[in-house]
């Protein structure tokens, strides 16, 4: 029995997903577990696998199409099986995409017979429903389209390319002559000295978020350092005994994040959201700590819920699981929202100071910098120590400089006396 494959819903807030790549075409045989297509939200990418074996009877989407969640993507069944009843609004009839292919092909064959250019016109022209609708609205001359979709399929961007060139039905004869001249007299095209690459969806989201953040907030950054001697010593002790104690691989960044979660509840304006739409501040009873993660697809911020209630080991385990999911591209979008404050660490890359950008509607973000060697006076003598830098960016609309500086001061005290912080 034929089965319909729909676009999954990844998270309650996701309304649609973009098809990254259709891995199958009509007529392909697939086994249970084979990848049918890959798709992405604005934050993550996923693979949709076949839940049963069979033959691909229909494909309704092309690469790059934005498909609403729960809409049909393809059909799997037995060759020749009737699946029309599975398609919403298509009961008793062939899917629109299949009809379009046959209809357009017949029209082009007839046109080719009249003009004598059968060798130039494809025997079968494939076109997506979205591209067909655009062509109908704009009178674009489909016969001049250069397919860039999967399996030689014309998609929306190909119709837009026609319109950019002015290739509409009203100028079809002129366009046909130019095409014939081009075929008769090939022109050598010099090799391009650059490459134009479409901006990925996640990069667009990041760009908009960062631009909106800097455009709409009054952001100010404070920089300080703290003596990292104690947390480095504690980290070394944990590393030596982690296996015997059954602990996670607790890092210095885990310890800084733990310190933030235990400190920030004393500074409610930093553990809050600035709500532009209602002109209100939302204060949180717990610290849902965001942790910035560098992934192959771009910057993501995972959220550790109620981080202030976790032990150091519990926080480390939770954060590592989220980071792993984010880097593999399998994380649910629901785990990438709801943070009340964010920590971003560039210290491992040798950065001594930077200006982290707030992730709206949060009111603050802490940048963690590399460790540098410094000198301080102890009992009248110069003593070298390892200093770790911290960069706090805050929204000056929500909090003034003095309380922001007090947060940094208390955080420094807690990190320099980490053993005492663990006892709280």
Convert the pLDDT of each residue in 165-219 to its tens digit: 777 775 555 455 455 555 555 567 788 888 888 787 778 888 888 998 999 999 9
Instruction: Provide the percentage of residues in the chain whose pLDDT is more than 70.
Output: 85
Enumerate the domain spans of the chain.
Answer: 3-94, 121-184, 201-423
Instruction: Provide the percentage of residues in the chain whose pLDDT is more than 90.
Output: 51
pLDDT of residue 99: 39
Within 10 angstroms of residue 212's Cβ, the number of other Cβ atoms is 12
Which CATH architecture best describes the domain 201-423?
Answer: 2-Layer Sandwich (3.30)
pLDDT tier for residue 106 given thresholds of 50, 70 and 90: very low
Q: Are 398 and 274 in contact (CB under 8 A)?
A: yes
Contacts of 44 (CB under 8 A, 6+ apart): 10, 297, 300, 326, 329, 330, 331, 332, 333, 336
Q: Hey, what CATH topology would domain 121-184 get?
A: Dihydrolipoamide Transferase (4.10.320)
Q: Which one is predicted more confidently, 12 or 300?
A: 300
Q: Are 154 and 142 in contact (CB under 8 A)?
A: yes
Q: Which one is predicted more confidently, 187 or 75?
A: 75
Contacts of 240 (CB under 8 A, 6+ apart): none
Structure tokens at 301: 């911020």
**What does the CA dihedral 361, 308, 329, 75 come to, rounded to 10 degrees?**
-80
For all residues of the chain together, what is the average pLDDT? 84
Q: Hey, what CATH topology would domain 3-94 get?
A: OB fold (Dihydrolipoamide Acetyltransferase, E2P) (2.40.50)
Q: Which one is predicted more confidently, 424 or 19?
A: 19
Structure tokens at 303: 């959220």
Convert the pLDDT of each residue in 359-378 to its tens digit: 999 999 999 999 999 999 98
Domains 3-94 and 121-184 share a fold: no
Q: Which one is predicted more confidently, 251 or 203?
A: 251
């Amino acid at each position: 029995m034929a089965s319909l494959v729909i676009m999954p819903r990844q998270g309650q807030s996701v309304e649609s997903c973009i098809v990254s790549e259709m891995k199958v075409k009509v007529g392909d045989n697939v086994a249970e577990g084979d990848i049918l297509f890959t798709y992405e939200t604005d934050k993550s990418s996923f693979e949709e696998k076949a839940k049963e074996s069979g033959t691909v009877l229909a494909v309704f989407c092309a690469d790059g199409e934005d498909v609403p969640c729960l809409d049909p993507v393809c059909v799997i069944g037995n060759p020749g099986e009737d699946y029309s009843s599975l398609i919403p609004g298509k009961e008793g009839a062939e899917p629109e995409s299949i009809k379009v292919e046959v209809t357009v092909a017949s029209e082009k064959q007839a046109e080719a017979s009249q003009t004598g250019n059968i060798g130039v016109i494809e025997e079968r022209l494939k076109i997506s429903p979205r591209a067909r609708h655009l062509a109908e609205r704009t009178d674009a001359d489909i016969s001049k389209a250069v397919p860039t979709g999967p399996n030689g399929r014309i998609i929306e961007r190909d119709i837009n390319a026609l319109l950019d060139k002015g290739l509409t039905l009203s100028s079809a004869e002129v366009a046909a002559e130019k095409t014939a001249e081009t075929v008769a007299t090939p022109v050598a095209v010099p090799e391009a000295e650059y490459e134009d690459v479409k901006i990925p969806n996640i990069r667009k989201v990041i760009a908009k978020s960062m631009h909106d953040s800097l455009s709409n907030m009054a952001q100010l950054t404070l920089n300080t350092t703290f003596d990292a001697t104690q947390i480095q010593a504690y980290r070394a002790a944990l590393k030596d005994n982690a296996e015997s104690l059954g602990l996670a691989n607790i890092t210095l960044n885990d310890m800084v994040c733990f310190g933030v979660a235990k400190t920030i509840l004393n500074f409610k304006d930093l553990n809050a959201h600035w709500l532009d739409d209602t002109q209100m501040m939302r204060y949180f009873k717990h610290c849902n700590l965001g942790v910035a993660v560098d992934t192959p697809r771009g910057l993501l911020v995972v959220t550790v819920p109620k981080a202030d209630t976790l032990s150091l080991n519990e926080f480390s385990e939770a954060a590592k699981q989220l980071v792993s999911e984010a880097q593999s591209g399998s994380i649910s979008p629901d785990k990438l929202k709801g943070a009340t404050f964010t920590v971003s660490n560039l210290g491992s890359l040798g950065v001594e100071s930077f200006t982290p950008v707030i992730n709206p509607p949060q009111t603050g973000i802490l940048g963690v910098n590399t460790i540098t060697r410094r000198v301080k006076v102890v009992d009248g003598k110069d003593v070298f120590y390892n200093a770790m830098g911290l960069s706090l960016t805050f929204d000056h609309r929500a909090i003034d400089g003095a309380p922001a500086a007090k947060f940094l001061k208390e955080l420094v005290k807690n990190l320099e006396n980490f053993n005492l912080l663990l006892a709280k």
